[in-house]
Protein backbone atom coordinates (compact mmCIF):
# COMPACT_ATOMS: atom_id res chain seq x y z
CA UNK A 1 0.00 0.00 0.00
CA UNK A 2 1.28 3.47 -0.91
CA UNK A 3 0.95 6.78 0.93
CA UNK A 4 0.55 9.51 -1.67
CA UNK A 5 2.24 12.14 0.50
CA UNK A 6 5.24 9.99 1.41
CA UNK A 7 8.64 10.87 -0.07
CA UNK A 8 9.93 7.30 -0.04
CA UNK A 9 6.69 5.98 -1.60
CA UNK A 10 7.36 8.46 -4.43
CA UNK A 11 10.92 7.15 -4.82
CA UNK A 12 9.60 3.56 -4.89
CA UNK A 13 7.05 4.61 -7.54
CA UNK A 14 9.91 6.26 -9.52
CA UNK A 15 8.17 9.63 -9.28
CA UNK A 16 11.33 11.00 -7.62
CA UNK A 17 14.79 9.84 -8.76
CA UNK A 18 17.16 8.01 -6.45
CA UNK A 19 20.38 6.00 -6.75
CA UNK A 20 18.78 2.57 -6.32
CA UNK A 21 21.31 -0.12 -5.43
CA UNK A 22 19.02 -3.02 -4.42
CA UNK A 23 15.54 -4.09 -5.53
CA UNK A 24 14.28 -7.52 -4.60
CA UNK A 25 11.08 -8.91 -3.18
CA UNK A 26 9.45 -6.50 -0.78
CA UNK A 27 12.37 -4.13 -0.31
CA UNK A 28 14.34 -1.53 -2.20
CA UNK A 29 17.48 0.36 -1.22
CA UNK A 30 18.99 3.61 -2.44
CA UNK A 31 21.87 5.84 -1.41
CA UNK A 32 21.11 8.55 1.11
CA UNK A 33 20.97 12.03 -0.44
CA UNK A 34 23.00 13.36 2.51
CA UNK A 35 25.56 10.62 3.19
CA UNK A 36 27.21 10.49 6.61
CA UNK A 37 29.87 7.98 5.55
CA UNK A 38 31.32 6.51 2.34
CA UNK A 39 28.48 3.96 2.46
CA UNK A 40 25.15 5.39 3.53
CA UNK A 41 22.17 3.57 2.09
CA UNK A 42 18.54 3.36 3.13
CA UNK A 43 16.74 0.00 2.93
CA UNK A 44 12.98 0.46 2.81
CA UNK A 45 9.92 -1.76 2.46
CA UNK A 46 7.98 -1.19 -0.76
CA UNK A 47 4.76 -1.15 1.24
CA UNK A 48 4.30 1.90 3.42
CA UNK A 49 5.11 1.25 7.08
CA UNK A 50 5.38 4.41 9.19
CA UNK A 51 8.38 3.43 11.32
CA UNK A 52 9.75 0.71 13.59
CA UNK A 53 7.10 1.51 16.18
CA UNK A 54 4.47 0.33 13.69
CA UNK A 55 6.16 -3.05 13.17
CA UNK A 56 4.28 -6.10 14.46
CA UNK A 57 4.39 -9.88 14.12
CA UNK A 58 3.05 -9.69 10.56
CA UNK A 59 6.28 -7.97 9.49
CA UNK A 60 8.58 -10.83 10.51
CA UNK A 61 9.65 -11.83 7.01
CA UNK A 62 9.95 -8.19 5.99
CA UNK A 63 12.49 -7.58 8.75
CA UNK A 64 14.52 -10.54 7.53
CA UNK A 65 14.44 -9.07 4.03
CA UNK A 66 15.48 -5.63 5.30
CA UNK A 67 18.45 -6.90 7.27
CA UNK A 68 19.43 -9.37 4.56
CA UNK A 69 19.47 -6.55 1.99
CA UNK A 70 21.55 -4.40 4.34
CA UNK A 71 24.09 -7.19 4.77
CA UNK A 72 24.31 -7.71 0.99
CA UNK A 73 24.82 -3.98 0.42
CA UNK A 74 27.59 -3.88 3.01
CA UNK A 75 29.30 -6.80 1.28
CA UNK A 76 28.86 -5.26 -2.17
CA UNK A 77 30.38 -1.98 -0.96
CA UNK A 78 33.28 -3.83 0.66
CA UNK A 79 32.63 -2.86 4.27
CA UNK A 80 31.50 -6.26 5.57
CA UNK A 81 34.93 -7.03 7.01
CA UNK A 82 35.62 -3.57 8.48
CA UNK A 83 32.13 -3.26 9.96
CA UNK A 84 28.99 -1.21 9.51
CA UNK A 85 26.09 0.22 11.46
CA UNK A 86 22.38 -0.49 10.97
CA UNK A 87 20.10 2.22 12.37
CA UNK A 88 16.34 2.66 12.73
CA UNK A 89 15.45 6.16 13.92
CA UNK A 90 12.07 6.37 15.65
CA UNK A 91 10.53 9.72 16.49
CA UNK A 92 11.72 13.21 17.26
CA UNK A 93 14.52 12.57 19.75
CA UNK A 94 16.08 10.04 17.41
CA UNK A 95 15.96 12.56 14.56
CA UNK A 96 13.49 10.73 12.35
CA UNK A 97 12.56 13.00 9.44
CA UNK A 98 10.98 10.62 6.93
CA UNK A 99 8.00 8.64 8.16
CA UNK A 100 8.41 5.55 6.01
CA UNK A 101 10.37 2.76 7.71
CA UNK A 102 14.00 2.83 6.57
CA UNK A 103 17.06 1.01 7.79
CA UNK A 104 20.21 3.12 7.51
CA UNK A 105 23.28 1.15 6.40
CA UNK A 106 26.36 3.19 7.30
CA UNK A 107 29.95 2.14 6.82
CA UNK A 108 33.35 2.82 5.37
CA UNK A 109 34.75 4.77 8.33
CA UNK A 110 35.16 4.23 12.08
CA UNK A 111 32.16 5.38 14.14
CA UNK A 112 31.87 6.56 17.72
CA UNK A 113 29.53 5.11 20.33
CA UNK A 114 27.24 6.34 21.77
CA UNK A 115 25.91 8.47 18.92
CA UNK A 116 25.55 12.20 19.64
P1 LIG B 1 15.81 9.69 9.27
O2 LIG B 1 16.45 10.84 9.98
O3 LIG B 1 16.13 8.36 9.93
O4 LIG B 1 14.32 9.89 9.05
O5 LIG B 1 16.53 9.63 7.86
C6 LIG B 1 15.99 10.11 6.66
C7 LIG B 1 17.10 10.08 5.64
O8 LIG B 1 16.54 10.27 4.36
C9 LIG B 1 18.14 11.19 5.82
O10 LIG B 1 19.41 10.60 6.12
C11 LIG B 1 18.20 11.90 4.48
C12 LIG B 1 17.45 10.96 3.55
N13 LIG B 1 16.68 11.62 2.51
C14 LIG B 1 15.79 12.61 2.69
N15 LIG B 1 15.25 12.96 1.52
C16 LIG B 1 15.83 12.15 0.58
C17 LIG B 1 15.67 12.03 -0.83
O18 LIG B 1 14.88 12.72 -1.49
N19 LIG B 1 16.44 11.10 -1.45
C20 LIG B 1 17.31 10.31 -0.77
N21 LIG B 1 18.03 9.42 -1.48
N22 LIG B 1 17.48 10.38 0.56
C23 LIG B 1 16.74 11.30 1.22
Give the total residue count for the chain: 116
Distance 32 CA to ligand 1 centre (A): 6
**Burial of 99: CB neighbours in 10 Å, binned 0-12, 13-18, 19+:** middle
Is 102 a catalytic site residue? yes
Query: Tens digit of pLDDT for each residue in 61-108?
Result: 999 999 999 999 999 999 999 999 999 999 999 999 999 999 999 999
| Threshold 0.95, pTM exceeds | yes
Phi and psi dihedrals of 62, rounded to 5? -65, -40
Q: 80 in ligand 1 pocket by Cβ < 6 Å?
A: no
For residue 2, tell me if it sits in a domain.
no
In testing the pocket of ligand 1, which one of 42, 52, 91, 115 has its CB within 8 Å of the most ligand atoms? 42
For residue 76, what is the domain's CATH number? Answer: 3.30.428.10
CA–CA distance from 79 to each of 36, 42, 67 (Å)? Answer: 15, 15, 15
For residue 112, tell me if it sits in a domain.
no
Structurally, how many domains does the chain consist of? 1
For residue 16, tell me if it sits in a domain.
yes
For residue 116, tell me if it sits in a domain.
no
For residue 97, tell me if it sits in a domain.
yes
The three-class DSSP label of residue 12 is helix
Look up the domain containing 40 and give its range. Answer: 7-107
For residue 74, tell me if it sits in a domain.
yes
Query: Tens digit of pLDDT for each residue in 14-44?
Result: 999 999 999 999 999 999 999 999 999 999 9
Range list of H helices, the chain: 7-12, 60-76
Amino acid sequence: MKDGDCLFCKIIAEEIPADVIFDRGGVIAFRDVNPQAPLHALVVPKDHVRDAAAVDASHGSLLVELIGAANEIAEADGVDASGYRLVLNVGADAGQTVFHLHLHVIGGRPMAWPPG
